[in-house]
Amino acid sequence: MQTTNDTSRRDFLKWSAFTAGGLVLGFKWADAEASTATVFSSTVAEAEVAMGHYLTVGTNGIVTIFSPNPELGQNIMTSFPMIVAEELDADWKQVKVVQAPLDNRFDRQLTGGSGAVPHSWPLLRKAGATARFMLIAAAAQRWGVPAAECTAEEGFVLHKASGKKLGYGELAEDAGKVPVPATVTLKDRKDFKLIGTAVKNVANKDILTGKPLYGLDFYREGMLYAMIQRPPAFGTKVQSFDATAAKAMPGIIDVVQVKNGVAVVGKSTWQVMKAKKALKITYEKSGNIESTADHDKIFIDLLNNGKATVRRKDGDVEAAFKDAAKVVKAEYQCPFISHSPLEPMNFFAHVKEGSVELVGPCQIPGSARTAVSKLLNIPEDKITLELTRLGGGFGRRLYNDYVVEAAEVSSLIKAPVKVIWSREDDMTGGTYRPAVRYRFEAALDASGNMTGYRLRGVGINSGNPTREHNFPSGAVENLLIESVEHQSPITTGAWRAPITNFLAYAEQSFIDEVAVAAGKDPVQFRLDLFEKAKAKPVGRMDYNVNRMIEVTKKVAERSGWGTKAGVIQGFSVYFSHRSYVAQVAEAVMEKGKPVIKKVYAVADCGQIVNLGGARQQVMGAIVDGMGHALFGKLSFKDGAAEQSNFHNYRLIRMKEIPQVDLHFVDSGFDPTGLGEPALPPTGGAVANAIFKATGKRLYQQPFMDSEVFGGSGKKTF
């Protein structure tokens, strides 16, 4: 059992409703002091309006759980309520889940960094346990028995000695009068009944029946539509424009200039889309105008001559390389890639006198509201933001440019409006994963042991394109990790598993090459390094060596590593977002080209909440990682993106998706990240399998540009 303290003072506000009410718990996510309990002589429905509460138990037995974090397919609207319902001992069939609007009383009301469940796990458990305590206390008072003699199960409180039984609905009003407990007891993991099982997504039916869940579905009577023509090239801005032809077209209400371009406003999406093409705009230079060819030269120059920031230095690296029996050196480069969520950017805004209403899909609603507040000089408490379901994000909706655009247009035209980006707008004027280049060097002694390791990374607007405390840091005594930055007008940002989405491939491909040079099995080579890190760790490490060893051994066992005749395998293992994932990719040769048929994956992400959702996250990440490693590429010519839609921006296709064999390690830890950690190791496993199949190393993404797949094989170094 686990007991939590100071529940009433730090985590909850309690409201009780007397007339047609029930138990209403307002969940405080921050550490600020809670005010004293307030009594509402109202119905639960009225209490819902009066406060930003988290949990209600109605007199009809329905348990309503509000899910604060944005839902973009990571299954959070199912997983969060499952945690509460487990500790509450609720009947899942009687649980209703509602997306909560933006509310300051929720802490970390965002989706990003695979951090939602790890962050909220203890708070959600306390929410359910507190409600369970109060329901049991209410039943014990009614029966005149000690609360310790009562238990809860599937929406009922039981007194087994007398055979008495009451449903949560029957106890809800009385429970609302019970003082919030100072401490609550949480369940032992062995007693979980709901957590760890596969539960269907609560929105499945609405999604499959086409209910209006997404931002693009949102409609408000009288609202207008807007699309914005932005500069086609980064490093340019609008100089002047002629909107005469556009304004004359059917349904067009207005054309206004905004910070990022020229907005066309009309009565329908189709009308403004056509009118936008009729705009005549002259652009002028506003900064550097760069092409992919420029970046290739910049990378080489900065790798060789750029002033680097030392991110980590252990031991005597220079001596290790001077004394090495063999030195292995390789460089890896990746292009920009687009987020390309299925639902392009969109948002609704209605700017009124002194207030703003916002509705739409975003990953950090709090920062969106702050940005709008600064733009319009309207206090944040006068701005409401309602979240819709997100049709994908992958990091793109962490940036609020499209929300601010909607507010700006609404303020200019004095009307409610929904700003919509086309697919071309999104791909040519979005925020991209930055292009990066790495140089790796390893020093080996005569016995094939890695005695020195150097990594120098050059990134575009990436801040630090390395993860200096991840493996192999701590496993090599002499180690140097440096980074160099290039500032570009091309907008970049977080893309699923930021930095590690490419760094993991490059690192794991390089370590494979080092293992081959050392004459050692790639899996055993890594295990030896892990044992060295465990026996004599060097400085700070951000990974747990034992957990790395466990997933490595388990995936080798499940895949039959090195024991299958005629099977070509590649291995990779990586730690990111607090979780550990090892993979083995299996390839066959078809028509002279390697084809990935199967991927074995073993993940340690601590306690699994929803087994079904967890499987989807890992499998989806593997498909995403493999698809972008093979095909993902966005190039630039004179500041303009050369790819504009899926006809020339290749994604993985259904027939190319491999079979996935997935296993979760039950390590006994609390939940860690899962939306991103399975993506980083995929590229390395695939590249290493391709090397075994063809004898050729892949040093650049996308792999399809290489000679292995019939590409030009042209290197940028």
* Judgement on whether residues 456 and 378 belong to the same structural domain of the protein: no
Smallest CA-to-CA distance from 686 within 635, 646, 631 is with 631
- Give yes or no for residue 521 having a pLDDT over 80: yes
- pLDDT at res. 566: 86
- Give yes or no for residue 348 having a pLDDT over 80: yes
Judge whether 280 and 241 are in contact, CB under 8 Å: yes
Residue finishing a domain among 363, 387, 420 = 420
* Judgement on whether residues 507 and 548 belong to the same structural domain of the protein: yes
The answer to whether residue 234 is domain-embedded is: yes
Residue finishing a domain among 148, 178, 207 = 207
- 539 lies in which domain range? 307-336+432-709
CA distance 142 to 159: 11
pLDDT digits (tens, 9 = 90+) for 393-441: 999 999 999 999 999 999 999 999 999 999 999 999 989 999 999 999 9
CA distance 287 to 293: 18
CA distance 333 to 506: 8
Which single residue is written with the structure tokens 């238990």?
151
The answer to whether residue 714 is domain-embedded is: no
- pLDDT at res. 45: 39
CA 1 from chain centre, in angstroms, equals 32
CA distance 546 to 214: 42
Three-state SS at 46: helix
The answer to whether residue 104 is domain-embedded is: yes
* Judgement on whether residues 522 and 639 belong to the same structural domain of the protein: yes
Judge whether 241 and 262 are in contact, CB under 8 Å: yes
CA distance 515 to 27: 52
In this structure, of 118-127, 220-229, 611-620, the range with the lowest mean pLDDT score is 118-127
The answer to whether residue 297 is domain-embedded is: no
- pLDDT at res. 40: 25
Question: Please, which residues bridge with residue 571 across strands?
Answer: 584
CA distance 705 to 703: 5
The pair of structure tokens assigned to 472 is 């192999």
Judge whether 343 and 390 are in contact, CB under 8 Å: yes
The answer to whether residue 716 is domain-embedded is: no
The pair of structure tokens assigned to 423 is 């697919």
Q: Is 328 left (phi over 0), alpha (psi -120 to 50) or beta?
A: beta
* Judgement on whether residues 172 and 236 belong to the same structural domain of the protein: no
* Judgement on whether residues 155 and 250 belong to the same structural domain of the protein: no
* pLDDT average, residue stretch 374-392: 97
* pLDDT average, residue stretch 197-209: 96
Please report which confidence band the pLDDT of residue 22 belongs to, taking 50, 70 and 90 as the band edges: confident
According to DSSP, residue 180 is labeled P
- Percent of the chain surpassing pLDDT 90: 86
The answer to whether residue 400 is domain-embedded is: yes
pLDDT digits (tens, 9 = 90+) for 559-600: 999 999 989 999 999 999 999 999 999 999 999 999 999 999
CA distance 588 to 534: 36
CA distance 523 to 509: 12
The answer to whether residue 298 is domain-embedded is: no
Q: Is pTM beyond 0.85 here?
A: yes
The pair of structure tokens assigned to 461 is 């607007």
Please report which confidence band the pLDDT of residue 108 belongs to, taking 50, 70 and 90 as the band edges: confident
Would you call the peptide bond into 489 cis, given omega within 30 degrees of 0 as the criterion?
no
- DSSP for 243-291 reads -HHHHTSTTEEEEEEETTEEEEEESSHHHHHHHHTT-EEEEEE-S----
Which residues have a Cβ under 8 Å from the Cβ of 152 and sit 6 or more positions away?
Answer: 88, 89, 132, 135, 136, 158
* Judgement on whether residues 247 and 382 belong to the same structural domain of the protein: yes
The answer to whether residue 610 is domain-embedded is: yes
CA distance 659 to 584: 12
CA distance 25 to 172: 11
Smallest CA-to-CA distance from 387 within 405, 365, 411 is with 365
CA distance 160 to 148: 11
CA 710 from chain centre, in angstroms, equals 34
* Judgement on whether residues 517 and 610 belong to the same structural domain of the protein: yes
* Judgement on whether residues 558 and 636 belong to the same structural domain of the protein: yes
pLDDT digits (tens, 9 = 90+) for 472-515: 999 999 999 999 999 999 999 999 999 999 999 999 999 999 99
The pair of structure tokens assigned to 27 is 């969940």
* Judgement on whether residues 528 and 677 belong to the same structural domain of the protein: yes
Which single residue is written with the structure tokens 């890695």?
450
Quote the radius of gyration of the chain (alpha carbons, Å).
28
Q: How many residues does the chain have?
A: 717
The number of domains in the chain is: 3
pLDDT digits (tens, 9 = 90+) for 444-474: 999 999 999 999 999 999 889 999 999 999 9
* Judgement on whether residues 454 and 487 belong to the same structural domain of the protein: yes
Residue finishing a domain among 174, 207, 240 = 207
**H or E element, residue 568:** strand 568-576
Say which CATH number the domain at 275 has: 3.30.365.10
- pLDDT at res. 644: 97
* pLDDT average, residue stretch 637-663: 97
CA angle 186, 668, 603 (to 5 degrees): 130
Mean confidence (pLDDT) of the chain: 92
In this structure, of 11-25, 191-205, 518-532, 563-577, the range with the lowest mean pLDDT score is 11-25
- pLDDT at res. 249: 98
* Judgement on whether residues 244 and 126 belong to the same structural domain of the protein: no
CA distance 347 to 416: 11
* Judgement on whether residues 627 and 517 belong to the same structural domain of the protein: yes
DSSP H helical segments within 37-149, as ranges?
44-50, 76-88, 116-143
